[in-house]
Structure 1
Amino acid sequence: MNAEDLLQRLRELAIVPVIEIEYADDAIPLGKTLVDAGLPVAEITFRTPVAADAIARMVDNVPGLLVGAGTILSEDDVDAAADAGAHFIVSPGLNASVVERARQRSIPIIPGVTSPSEIEAARSLGLRLLKLFPAEAIGGIPLVKALSAPYPDVSFMPTGGITADTVSAWLAQPSVAACGGSWIATKDAVTGRRWEEITTKAGQAAELAASSPRSRTAGTRA
């Protein structure tokens, strides 16, 4: 998957569950739960030792699921995510060495930014899809509106503090390709294997994405 294909797919999906998995055995049933609920995407964070294993199990056993690796902080993390078969990677900040390693491994990367300076640094590296993090804490929707004006070629995936109640307002912004959300499959729900609860929240998220007033076609923004 290249960066353009990823952007198009994320615009179609609109909401990306951000998930921390404690036990690799939960990866396959979790992935199937998301697919069955109509939200076939997951960003598995590298905050636990089983992240790479969980990603590999999802990629190998859950057809149709778009699997990303989150909280990628180093070149070693990039290698682990790529070796596991992740379709894309996400980092909380912009690290040129991590971006270069992702390029070497031919895996799309969405690095985090918070300011015009970081956006320009990302653009100089050829990146046009960026994570805005932590989205609510650093300024929310007014910030993404302000940043979009001088950088019309950049699309954002805001993450951090977004909820089921606020995600629709974020998705109404033309520069927002998708939103990351941790409310859909919380750590406690996954560890407790509360698949029915996750199914409900994922289904509701898919409905919110589908009812967003704007188009999420890849041609909307470069």
Structure 2
Amino acid sequence: MDLVSLLRARRLLAIVRGRRAEAALDTVRTLADEGVTLIEVSLTSHRALDVITRAREELGVQVLLGVGTVVTAQDARDAHAAGAQFAVTPGLGDGVEQARSLGMSTLVGALTPSEVIAAQAAGADAVKLFPASATGGPGYLRTLRAPFPQVPFVPVGGVDTRTGRSYLNGGATAIGVGSPLIGDAADGGDLSLLRERARAYLRLAEEPGR
């Protein structure tokens, strides 16, 4: 799986965190039904690994499923065993090396230039700019891309439709969106509102040019 090519093509990574496993699974199903086909389920979700396993069985290969908040080597092993195709980390740690050794693609969290260099050295397929909301916004990404023009960046953290457009126009490979997209759906909230938000983000991701 070429994660970077998929990020470039789809430009939207949905991040699911929820307090109820069934609701989180319904959220994944709804996103997939609306055409969001690059989805991360955070390990902070209730029974996250069960959600991934069941979603993989139901959705097949048309939806790319990853596990987020991978910190330790055991996290990576658990994610791989559950059927995740890629691992997302909040930063550098043992989970990155273990995920790579298992053949998983990695989206590695970094914020500073030194962390970006370390993420590249660790073999990250792409860099998760996190927390993006702490950087001053899209302007920071443009500044960071000057010394790292070839690095695929995915801003995560407080990315709404307005800042998402600015990040994509500023050179982000894709945007990672959690609560502004998911809302309370993964806790048992309204799935019809999730559908509306998914359509809005998909329209944004499909806008031509940058």
TM-score normalised by the chain length of structure 2: 0.92
Equivalent position amino acid for 1:124 in 2: A
Q: Which runs of 5+ in 1 are unaligned?
A: 215-222
- RMSD, aligned α-carbons: 1.5
Contact 1:131 1:159 survives alignment (8 Å): yes
SS at match of 1:180: strand
SS at match of 2:196: helix
CA distance in 1, matches of 2:208, 2:168: 6
Q: Name the structure 2 match of 1:42.
A: 39
Instruction: Give the structure with the higher percent helix.
Output: 2
Equivalent position amino acid for 2:122 in 1: L
The Cα shift of 1:32 comes to 2.5
Q: Name the structure 2 match of 1:69.
A: 67
Pick aligned residue for 1:142 from 139, 142, 148: 139
Q: Does 1:124 align with 2:158?
A: no
SS at match of 2:67: strand
Q: In 2 relative to 1, CA 128–143 (structure 1 residues): closer, same or farther, beyond 3 Å?
A: farther
Q: Does 1:198 align with 2:198?
A: no
Pick aligned residue for 2:204 from 199, 205, 208: 208
The Cα shift of 1:49 comes to 4.1
Q: In 2 relative to 1, CA 88–115 (structure 1 residues): closer, same or farther, beyond 3 Å?
A: same
Q: Name the structure 2 match of 1:219.
A: none
Deviations 1:141-179 (CA, angstroms, capped at 9, x unpaired): 1211111111122111110111122211111122x1111
Q: Name the structure 1 match of 2:20.
A: 23
Q: Name the structure 2 match of 1:83.
A: 81
Q: Which has the higher mean CA deviation after the structures are superposed, 196-205 or 22-31?
A: 22-31
Pick aligned residue for 2:155 from 142, 151, 158: 158
Deviations 1:73-109 (CA, angstroms, capped at 9, x unpaired): 11111011111111111111112x2221011111011
Q: Name the structure 2 match of 1:53.
A: 50
The Cα shift of 1:126 comes to 2.9
How many residue pairs were aligned? 208
CA distance in 2, matches of 1:36, 1:128: 27
TM-score normalised by the chain length of structure 1: 0.88
CA distance in 1, matches of 2:125, 2:196: 33
The Cα shift of 1:38 comes to 1.9
Equivalent position amino acid for 2:72 in 1: S
The percentage of counterpart residues that share the same residue type is 33
Equivalent position amino acid for 2:199 in 1: G
The Cα shift of 1:212 comes to 4.3
